[in-house]
Structure 1
Amino acid sequence: MNKTSLFSIGLMSGTSLDGIDLVYAEFAVNNYIKFKILHSETVSYSRKWKETLQNAIHFSSDDLQRLDIEYGVLLGDVINDFIDKFSIENIDFVASHGHTILHQPEKGITLQIGNGQIIADKTKQKVVCDFRTQDVKLGGQGAPLVPIGDELLFGNYDFCVNLGGFSNVSFNKEGKRIAFDICPVNIVMNLYAQKLGFEYDESGEIASRGKINTVLLNKLNSLDFYDKEPPKSLGLEWVQQKIFPLIDSLETDVSSVLRTFVAHIAIQVSKVIANNNSVLMTGGGVFNQFLIKCIEEKSNIKIEVLNSEIINFKEALVFSFLGLLKLDSQVNCLSSVTGSKMDHSSGEVFLPSGVQ
């Protein structure tokens, strides 16, 4: 790459189904930390799409193949609308995380839908996607993928924590980047808030009115996953098998479910970041003021809150960065993070049909 700046569109869809995050970013080729988010937007899912993605874990192989194409069409349309809305002209590539449907790396399975060729054809842009499959084939978890961005773009923080569908963390230990999923967050919290007719528990008001169910809290904290050493990652399947049945068997009051789960998150996050004030915290969970207060109290720290653009769009930005690294044949997936056999440059590249 001989240009001094590269311009890209990055897309991220998280397990909490808040919507599709898009960023239009500029990276200085000679110094990646000099990046700019030029435009950003979250496009909410329709009710039909949200229900489809929630239920896709149960789809047949043929249905998943069709969904991969249909979701690729959706992403292509969303990207084109984003380009038109902001009158974007200079695009070197598009990088798409897709949407995770299946993630069972211990069985060699991971699936992110959003067909790259369809996106390339609809947008007439070079597309980089499918960042997880190669890592799983190399014996890794295929997740988390954001830590290379934490290392190269946000390395001035001791810990980078994301509070999205799941909470995850990355940090440098003895010269190596370590990262792992900590625990579920919005993938659980949002579901129970929706039982009361809310999309999510804004500012944590519902949770703040509930009572901690100590039996449930102790059982949550005793789950085997929390005793495992990294690398380790979580998926929707684990939540459906381990978390929801446990909650539903021990607590029926939604506010108390949320209060107990906030306590659970605070305990698990504090195990990692306690007594360290150099923490960058991003993701939708940051706007849950009650959750942040509980994490601060349990961890004995003060969390620095950056501008809302970084909080909301850091992951989409980093996937854009992963695409940049892939196209330049640079490492974008760290074995110290995922447990794969080696560091590698992951992702598939698609060009619009007819383009050599």
Structure 2
Amino acid sequence: MKESFSLDALLRENIKKLVPYSSARDEFKGEASVLLDANENAFGSPYSKNYHRYPDPLQHQLKEKLYQIKGVPTENIFLGNGSDEAIDLLFRAFCEPAKDNVIVVPPTYGMYEVSANINNVALKKVNLTADYQLDLDGIAAAIDAHTKLIFICSPNNPTGNSIRRQDIETILVNFDGIVVVDEAYINFSKLPSFTKDLVEFPNLVVLQTLSKAWGLAALRLGMAFASQEIIRVFNKIKPPYNINQATQEIVLEALQGVEQVNTWIKLLVEEREKLSASLAELDEVAAVTPSDANFILVKLIEPRALYNFLVDKGIIVRDRSKVELCEGCLRFTIGTPQENELLYRAIVDFYATDND
């Protein structure tokens, strides 16, 4: 177990001194017949279902259900308005504006850089290697006394590959700041989640989401798993009612569908491998990056022209051709078998037309 880590040494002074807002639902917990403490509308809501009461600020029922699914104790779970809320809270808790810095490893999820810019925190970029793995020497050289966070997306977006576990562990052991492992796509990978390592690494924060495999993107519910100490910091600075009641209810119901989700995951992985193999056989495809996610990054001839052709066909993919280390690439989300077939046939048609 890592023993040199000090959360207190990383926290901003104003966060240490912060007295969090105490909501009515924080002060009273339990059942009552007359609630006159939170200035709610006692007559109800102009809707078929009443939403006039404030929601549970700490989402206890949801966390209990996630504990049953994920095996992570409720005290180690933070729920946010998408993973983006947890990302922003990390900056606000640990990074002194115009003083501290964070490290990202491009190509990667763009929200880390956006949050850094919003919070006026310097961003250091250490590019992945040619095979989309961590440059450990480069990261070590970039760390200084003001480096507070290192963000690692695995499986990585937009490349789809998993980052070598041993390399992530090397950083966890040797870096005294917070290491954030973003596992938004972990459900599509055979590799184990880092949530099993929270006790061993007190400087580890694992991000996951219900937007991908669980198909709940519109509800905006993300998860952060970390030590109880870090979760307490998140809860201290988050908005009082950051997850609304309707989202809590719908997600709680959706979490009953584990078997359905597992069936979808199996099918998506099969479709991913099928589409990857089919595209790799095309002469115009230079490379298909092996993926552990629900998308594939494909290097092709004339990617922008192909992108426009697909748009005209009503097929929308992601153009990553101008992203460093992804030159000439489009990113294809894996859809239904029918959608994947439409995509493949459209690509074949484009190159056949282009060659006429």
> Is TM more than 0.5 here?
no
- Which of structures 1 and 2 has the bigger CA Rg? 2
More strand by share: 1
More helix by share: 1
Q: Which has the higher contact order (CA 8 A, sep 6+)?
A: 1
Q: Give TM-score scaled by structure 2 length.
A: 0.28
